[in-house]
Structure 1
């Protein structure tokens, strides 16, 4: 049994019995880790509270990790970066629910990855303090592919289309899983930009949905077992 002090980002929670939760976190020190929080739903006093474990909350925890078990225990927790707007704003809340679900499916490596952790932490801190966020989820997912190992090879971005399966730009637009013309034009708007530049990128409602579907397809082709998030419908309703 090892005691670990680490930053953690909540990915999802599952109710376990009447009073307990299983929480999946992405941690700085240990990568993907699941914790059993016994009695947290009935807890009235200090200590662990269920409210700490909302999707993508940024925590500092002290936990006991056992090599023999898949579920570990959190001893102490506090919110390391309390969001000011995310849980009060319906648009941001919908984006966070959707992206938490995507991350739950997409992060499959158990090992820690400090660059990926830092990217997630920085991105949601940015989301919390900005207002013009309608395209945030598109750029977040697009740039997430850098850390998952399938960011588009941009050296030939002037070609006519993009092959989602191969992850490269191509002139043979008749191949399966290749986007070209307007789909390709919209997809390319996200290339090489950071969150501060997202306000200068314009998508109509229709274009935004098109690009999101392309990105989800891209993830499905590159990640085993990745599936379309259930919360996609909520996100589409918020932006419609």
Structure 2
């Protein structure tokens, strides 16, 4: 069946000598994986490897068949050019990291309009803004709204329970957050990408908060593992 759908590229992996397996999050079908045969050796085809970098926004025409694990792309067009995202070192590292998180979390093969709109809108915002040091942190916190475990934080409580996903009035053990991490979490929750507000975080604060958020994902998502690209992201932010 020939279908059309907007899509966000989550992953692109070499397969054999000249093929790519590309996983996208699509508006109309959720998560879909495609095999692009011969794309790495063909110079005449309409499909180019550059189309399938992480976070690229595409309009796809594809052949989908029920019960087939890998579908086929007939045509792909870039729907929104991302020049700064793919050329800026820090933005590229953030995009790689977040696309890896999305690849690990978005498993549903069905239409999810609100989630797709959120991802598409924030990628476009990211492309056009120069102040984005906390983008990945805000992105992940807002993502939890769509995954079903957005933090329920009460400013009057001194602890946050990662397992329960809400504030607590006492230390609940290993998965209890308090002190500076909780203060920073309270400050950054509720920030919207369309507002000119930036919470300044030191490199250490940013790393500690991100580690806490990733632990939060591990607690609530079966099989979630620390992204391999986290090391690269930390190195980029550590550079003077």
Query: What whole-Å deviation, never above 9, does each CA across 1:18-53 have from its counterpart, x for those lacking one?
Result: 111110000001000000101111110141111100
Aligned to 1:108: 107
SS of the equivalent of 1:15 reads strand
What residue is the counterpart of 1:64 in the other structure?
63
Deviation at 1:183, TM superposition (A): 1.4
Distance in structure 2 (CA, Å) of the matches to 1:199 and 1:213: 23
How has the CA–CA distance of structure 1 residues 201 and 114 changed in structure 2, closer, same or farther, with 3 Å as cutoff?
same
Using the size of structure 1 for normalisation, the TM-score is 0.96
Unaligned ranges ≥5, structure 2: none
Q: Structure 2-normalised TM-score?
A: 0.96
Aligned residue number for residue 30 of structure 1: 29
1:202-213 matches, cutoff 5 A = 202-213=200-211
| Partner Cα separation in structure 2 for residue 4 and residue 117 of structure 1 | 17
Q: CA deviation at 1:174?
A: 4.1
- Once the two structures are superposed, residues 46-71 of structure 1 have per-residue CA deviations (whole angstroms, 9 ceiling, x without a partner) of 41111100001000000010102110
Change (3 A) 1:58 1:3: same
Contact 2:161 2:172 in 1 (8 A): no
Aligned to 1:229: 227
Taking the TM superposition and a 5 Å limit, the aligned residue runs for 1:1-240 are: 2-154=1-153, 156-197=154-195, 199-240=197-238
| Contact 2:39-2:45 at 8 Å conserved across structures | no
Partners of 1:153 and 1:189 in 2: how far apart? 13
Please give the root-mean-square deviation of Cα atoms over the aligned residues, in Å. Answer: 1.2
174 and 148 in structure 1: CA distance in 2 versus 1, 3 angstrom threshold: closer
Task: Flag the 1:197–1:175 CA change in 2: closer, same or farther, 3 A.
Answer: farther
Q: Tell whether the 8 Å contact from 1:136 to 1:198 is kept in structure 2 after alignment.
A: no
In the TM superposition, residue 144 of structure 1 has moved relative to its aligned partner by 0.4
1:135 touches 1:198 (CA, 8 Å); kept in 2? no
TM-superposed CA distance for 1:117, in Å, is 0.5
**Aligned counterparts of 1:175 and 1:43: Cα–Cα separation in 2:** 56
